[in-house]
Amino acid sequence: MGKPTGFMEYERTEAGHRAVAERIKDFTEFTVPQSLEALNLQAARCMDCGVPFCHGGFVVQGSSIGCPLSNLIPEINDLAYRGETEKAYRRLTKTHPFPEFTARVCPALCEGSCTLGEHEPPVTVKEIERFVSDEMLQAGKALPRYPKMTTGKSVAVVGSGPSGLACADLLNQLGNSVTVFERAERAGGLLMYGIPNMKLEKQIVEARVALMRDEGIHFQVNTEIGNDYPVLALMRDFDAIVLCAGATQERLLAAPGSDLTGVVTAVPYLTASTKNLLDDTPMPVEMDARDKDVIVVGGGDTGTDCIATAIRRGAKSVSQFEIMPKLPEERAAGNPWPLWPRVFKTDYGQEEAIELFGKDPREYLTTVKEIKGDGHRVSSVVTVEVKWEDQNGRLAPVEQPGTERERPCGLLLTAMGFTGPERTLIDQMNLQTDPRGNVKADEEKYRTSLPTVFAAGDMRRGPSLVVWAIFEGIRAAKACDRYLRKSKNV
C-alpha cells in the first residue's frame, strides 16, 4: 500500500516529455521517466483503501473497472516504495507476462479506478510499472523461464500480436511445444507495426521475442496461414490451434473520391513508416506526407499516432476530424468513479501540432463529405458538420446544411477504427462467427466451432486494448491446455 500517510503528503507528478522541437526530429520515445527517488514517493501515495478497485478487472456498463489482468497493484506499489524493485517485478509478472508493453501503450485502466482518484489525482501506476519492468530488463534480470515439464503436445498460435504472444508464452510454460505463425517479416503484430516507435520502441518488442525464443517458442515469420501454409496441413501438423490474428479490417471512409491516390488507412501508413525506420524501406509515394496538408479522419490513439507520424514525416500542416462531440473536462454524471473516466485529454500528437502550427488540430462533430482530386491524387476534401439525432430509436449523425467547407489536402489518413477480423482464414476453416463477424468462441472454453481450434484477442472479442488482448491470450492458453490434457493423458 506504500506509506500510510503518503497520499496526504505527496502530490502526483508525472513523467515529462522531450521538447517538441527535439522529439519531432526522430522516432525515439518522447517520454522522460522520473527518477527512482521520485517514483518511490509516487508509490508511497498508494492508500490502504480497503477495496482496491485498481485490480478489479471487470466491466460495468461497457466500461472497464481496474486492470483486466488483475495485477496486484497495491502490493507492487508497496514493494516499489520500499525500493525492492526485483520483488515488485516478480509480483507484477505473476499476473502479467509483458509489463514493458502495457506500461507504454495501455491507457491505465487501473488509474481510472484508483480509490485515491475519487477525490485526488490517482496513483501513477503506469509509470511505476514501467520503471519496475525497465529496471529489470536493462539489468538483465528478466531471465528466460524454462518449462519444468513437457506434455508432448504441439500448438500452433496464428498471429504474434499481444494476444498471440501472451497465449504462446503461457502454453510454453505449461509444457506444450508452441509455434507462432506471423505473416509479416517480424514478430510482434500490432506491437511491432501498428504502434509507432516513439510510443513503443521496437527493440523492446524484439527483446521480448528473443527471450521467448530462448524459452523454446518457435517463431515462423513471413508465413500466412491459408496461403503460405495450408489450413489442412496446419490442422494435421498440430494437436491444437489458437487463432490470434486480430481484427485488422479497418473501417473505410464512405465518401465520393475515397479511391483517389493519397487516401490511406491508418495501419498501412503506420506499418510503412515503421518498416522505413527499421529496414530503410522507402515510404510508398501515395503515403508521402512531406510538404503536404495532412488530414486525419478519426480520433482515438490511432489518430494521434497518425498525426505524430505525419509531423515526423514532414507534413506542412495537420488537421483531425472527429465525428463525435468533444468530451467533457470532468466526469459526467453518467460516468462516475470507478468507471473509466471519459474526459477530454490532449495526447502527444496533438501537443506537437499545437506547438508547431499554433492550434489544436481537432475539430469535433465534423466529417468528410467528399474527396476531390487533381488528376488521380487527392487535392482537397469537403467537410460538413453533423448533429447527433434520434433516428428510429438510435442516435445517428445528421449533416447540417450550410456547414460545408472545402480544405486543401495532400494526404488523407483514415483512423476510424476496425470492423473485425479478415475473412480469409475464417472462410477457409468454415468457422462460425458472431453477429459482428468475430470468430465465435465463448469466454470460458475459447473453443470455436472446430473442436481443436481456439480463438482469442480482437479476433474473438472485437477491436479492443492491448491489455485486453493479453488477458484473452492468457485465458485461451489455459483453456487450450485443459482441452489437450483431457483429450489424451499427459
pLDDT for 487 equals 78
For 131-158, the pLDDT digits (tens) are: 999 999 999 999 999 999 999 999 999 9
Across the chain, mean pLDDT equals: 95
More confident residue, 328 or 391: 328
Q: Are 406 and 427 within one domain?
A: no
Q: Are 259 and 234 within one domain?
A: no
As a whole number, mean pLDDT of residues 293-298 equals 98
Q: Are 344 and 381 within one domain?
A: yes
The alpha carbon dihedral of 224, 227, 229, 231 has a sign of: positive
| DSSP characters over 374-427 | ETTEEEEEEEEEEEEEEETTEEEEEE-TT--EEEE-SEEEE---EEE--HHHHH
- Among 361, 388, 416, the domain boundary falls at 416
What does the longest C-alpha to C-alpha distance in the chain come to?
71
As a whole number, mean pLDDT of residues 454-482 equals 97
The model's confidence at residue 489, banded by pLDDT at 50, 70 and 90, is: low
**For the domain that residue 480 is a member of, what is the CATH number?**
3.50.50.60
431 pLDDT above the threshold of 70: yes
Q: Are 161 and 282 within one domain?
A: no
Q: Are 468 and 346 within one domain?
A: no
C-alpha distances out from residue 269 to 175, 303, 361, 393, Å: 39, 11, 19, 37
Rounded Cα–Cα distance for residues 39 and 297 (Å)? 37
Rounded Cα–Cα distance for residues 269 and 275 (Å)? 10
pLDDT for 7 equals 93
The alpha carbon dihedral of 156, 101, 248, 210 has a sign of: negative
449 pLDDT above the threshold of 90: yes
Burial tier of 372 (Cβ tally within 10 Å: 0-12, 13-18, 19+): middle
Query: Length of the chain, please?
Result: 490
Q: Are 240 and 317 within one domain?
A: no
The model's confidence at residue 437, banded by pLDDT at 50, 70 and 90, is: very high
121 pLDDT above the threshold of 70: yes
The model's confidence at residue 443, banded by pLDDT at 50, 70 and 90, is: confident
Residue numbers of the domain that contains 95: 6-138
Rounded Cα–Cα distance for residues 291 and 145 (Å)? 49
Q: Whole-prediction pTM value?
A: 0.96
Determine the 3-state secondary structure of 242 from DSSP: strand
**For the domain that residue 24 is a member of, what is the CATH number?**
1.10.1060.10
pLDDT for 488 equals 65
Residue 367 phi, psi dihedral angles, 5° rounding: -140, 165
Q: Are 461 and 312 within one domain?
A: no
Residue 124 domain-assigned (yes or no) = yes
C-alpha angle 193/197/201, rounded to 5°?
105
- What's the total number of domains in the chain? 3
- Among 360, 387, 416, the domain boundary falls at 416
Rounded Cα–Cα distance for residues 50 and 444 (Å)? 30
The model's confidence at residue 56, banded by pLDDT at 50, 70 and 90, is: confident
As a whole number, mean pLDDT of residues 334-347 equals 94
333 pLDDT above the threshold of 70: yes
Rounded Cα–Cα distance for residues 7 and 400 (Å)? 49
Cell numbers 490517482 correspond to 122
As a whole number, mean pLDDT of residues 250-270 equals 96
Q: Are 410 and 437 within one domain?
A: no
Please check whether residue 85 is in contact with residue 132, taking contact to mean a CB–CB distance below 8 angstroms.
yes
Residue 405 domain-assigned (yes or no) = yes
224 pLDDT above the threshold of 70: yes
Q: Are 17 and 123 within one domain?
A: yes
